[in-house]
Amino acid sequence: MALPPQLKDALIAVDGRIATLTLNRDDVRNELTGTCLVDDIVRTAEWINSDESISVLILTGAGQAFSAGGNVKHMLQREGTFGGTVYAVQQKYRAGIQRVALALHQLEVPSIAAVNGAAIGAGFDLACLCDLRIAAAGARMGETFVNLGIIPGDGGVWLLQRVVGYQRAAELSFTGRVFDADEALTMGLVLSVTKPAHLMSTANELALKIAEKPPQALRLTKRLMKLAQRQELPDFLELCAVFQGVCHNTGDHLEAVAAFLEKRPPKFQGS
């Protein structure tokens, strides 16, 4: 395993095949636009893609919030990401928050958002970028951009309708309302709601179930999940055939079959 990247505003921990990234700027509710968290998230995703010893990423926040998204005071003062001409702002979004959307969309392993607290605006979209979401009771969420007279510049409406469907995504995006973890569960946005003290153990339990699977097959399945969103079925089936040929030629496939027939736990080598 290659050493994890050096991060400035986030913490990274590795336990077996599970990496946990904790946004560590509770002083500003883990905002994304006025910190180094964008760079930290992108570096982590790039590291995981290049290191096949990692099979799952858990993303969470330290302190009271998962992420409060953008800095509203900076918006008022037109500072940082929000200052300059139309072209300047466009470039700042491309070089900033949109890099997170691309990095997590291209992440090659399953990701779990452990939503420990408020996930608002871009922070909410950050949770939606993950494959799976678990929320702590009391966590509040919202696609709130319209309340501030802006749009989800990080691609939020593209993400949200793929998570909850067009009609619910439209309602949340047009109203900008904030809702709680229980409603998020009802609409299928999160898998489960747990007591705050049990959030990380619940996320780790799910991550362990995923991480025990054959690493190559897991990454190829994640790739297919993403490609299925934009390919027509005939082209997709051709790719599935190729990926299946790869899997049938791995040692882990033979080990999985042997373990199944011998009724024993498999021992995967990632090859």
> Which of the residues in the chain have pLDDT under 50?
none
Residue 211 CA to residue 98 CA, distance in Å, equals 28
What's the pLDDT at 233? 96
Q: What is the pTM of this model?
A: 0.96
Residue 242: Cβ within 10 Å count: 10
Q: Could you tell me if 23 and 9 are in contact, meaning their C-beta atoms sit under 8 angstroms apart?
A: yes
**CA distances from residue 143 to 70, 167, 243 in whole angstroms, order as listed:** 12, 14, 36
Q: Could you tell me if 134 and 81 are in contact, meaning their C-beta atoms sit under 8 angstroms apart?
A: no
Find residue 67's DSSP bridge partners: 119
Three-state SS at 191 = coil
